[in-house]
Amino acid sequence: MKIKVLICLLLFISVVSYGQETTWSHFRGSNLNCIAHGNHIPQKWNDSLNIVWKTSVKGKGWSSPVIWGEQVWITSATPEGKEMYALCYSLKTGKELYSIKLFQQDKIYGKHDLNSYATPTPCIEEGLVYIHFGTTGTACLSTKDGSVIWKRNDLNCEHVQGPASSPVIYKNMLILHLEGTDVQYIAALDKTTGKTIWKTDRPKELYDKLQPIGKKAYITPIVISVNGRDLLISNGSAVCIAYDVKTGREVWRVIQGEDSTISMPFFENGLVFFYTGFVTEPGGGQYCELLAVDPSGTGDISSTHIVWRLKEPILQLLTPLIKDGLIYTVNTKNQLRCLEAKTGKIVYTQKMTGRYNSSPVYSNGLIYFTSLSGETSVIREGRKYELVAKNKLKGEIQATPAISGDRLIIRTSSEIYCIGD
């Protein structure tokens, strides 16, 4: 069985300079795995130590930074959600280059207190950046002058608790997830025109069984190659489905769950990993599971291709980091876990302080976990827990950091920091 990750998200995303990765083109990086190779970012910082620049950000949003060339892009919205912006900053100086109002709406939909109206992370490639605000709208902009190439606001759903799924580029497509209480579907758009190439609904027979509030989901998908076929791994509230990414047709499914999925799927060494939607036990307790799945099957593989499963607390927000056969994650009980990817065996557990919604990032043998309170714990990769440093910035952090060269870009509730020696 020949299975491999689509390196550099199919040949055009990652740019390497002097052995370092300098682009960070999607949520969780250019390879959708939060790993930067050859980069030497600082281990220690605070509001004045190792700060190259910091810049105030107008409005509110939890979208993570993306980087191409000398530009850093994020999104933001007015606090009440009436105006939606794309913001661009100089990677070198932090100067704001563009502030582009893309959408304005009179009718405001609700959101969860933890969410924002600008949570989906943009994705970027040479000359173009793609901005998504869920049901409010999607746009493609020129990175050369900030001009709008195309816009759409007809891809809609009732988010109820706000949008969060980020767009993904695949060859000529921009892939979007719109999963609300009313409708749940995936759309692949022509990235040059914004026109729909294919659109696939989640399976009605599975979702009709759920309460409306349980039908929503917030995940960002990944694309892998299985025996020469490219599969979109998309994990909804009731089912994780592998679609033929070129057509939107279902290849396999794993059924489990009755409410939201948030954390992304991830992949290494021939296995796909994902957190299920939560399950209610007969006594009223709830749990989700982290599953390891062999992605080579077809049809319903729920009882045939699950390699291992680990019961975990519900509402897993951050996406684990996997590297060299080990999975690193913090669950919603604030337990830092290191797991064997092949077996699911717990290598170690370490109690953490605070809550972790931001996904961990990796560089040069170190893993950076950033908490909601703005504290980043730096640990060394490996089978033994080793804390290298703890660093604190002012403000709340839910965005996942980005890495470019020897710079770490962190977005807080009010500012963007560029951290470097």
pLDDT, tens digit only, all 421 positions of the chain = 445 444 334 433 434 433 577 999 999 999 999 999 888 899 999 988 999 999 999 999 999 999 999 999 999 999 888 999 999 999 999 999 999 999 998 877 777 888 899 999 999 999 999 999 999 999 999 999 999 999 999 999 999 998 999 999 999 999 999 999 999 999 999 999 999 999 999 999 999 999 999 999 999 999 999 999 999 999 999 999 999 999 999 999 999 999 999 999 999 999 999 999 999 988 889 999 999 999 999 999 999 999 999 999 998 899 999 999 999 999 989 999 999 999 999 999 999 988 999 999 999 999 999 999 999 999 999 999 999 999 999 999 999 999 999 999 999 999 999 999 8
> Looking at domain 3-419, which CATH architecture does it have?
7 Propeller (2.130)
Question: Tokens standing for 172?
Answer: 């000529």
Query: What separation in angstroms does the CA of 284 have from each of 12, 276, 281, 287?
Result: 48, 18, 5, 10
Residue 42 has a pLDDT of 94
The whole-angstrom separation of Cα 267 and Cα 376 is 25
Q: What is the CA radius of gyration of the chain?
A: 20
Residue 19 has a pLDDT of 52
The three-class DSSP label of residue 158 is: coil
The strand pairing partners of 304, in sequence order, are none
The whole-angstrom separation of Cα 385 and Cα 383 is 7
Residue 77 has a pLDDT of 96
Q: Quick one: 152 exposed, middle or buried, by C-beta within 10 A (0-12, 13-18, 19+)?
A: middle
The three-class DSSP label of residue 364 is: coil
Closest to 324 (Cα-Cα) out of 369, 368, 363, 382: 382
Residue 196 has a pLDDT of 98
The three-class DSSP label of residue 204 is: helix
The whole-angstrom separation of Cα 25 and Cα 245 is 19
Contact 165, 218 (CB under 8 A): yes
For 34-54, give one letter per residue: b (16+ CB within 10 A) or e.
Answer: bbbeebebbbebeeeebbbbb
The whole-angstrom separation of Cα 419 and Cα 6 is 29
The strand pairing partners of 389, in sequence order, are 378
Query: Which conformational region is residue 114 in: left (phi greater than 0), alpha (psi within -120 to 50 degrees), or beta?
Result: alpha
Can you say whether the dihedral through the CA atoms of 237, 242, 245, 250 is positive or negative?
A: negative
Contact 287, 256 (CB under 8 A): no
The whole-angstrom separation of Cα 137 and Cα 174 is 13
Domain positions in the chain are 3-419
Closest to 331 (Cα-Cα) out of 290, 389, 278, 380: 290
CA dihedral 224, 171, 263, 305 (to 10 degrees): -20
Give me the residue label for tokens 């939890």.
62
What is the distance of C-alpha 305 from the center of its chain? 25
Contact 262, 282 (CB under 8 A): no
The whole-angstrom separation of Cα 244 and Cα 239 is 16
Specify the DSSP class assigned to residue 415: E
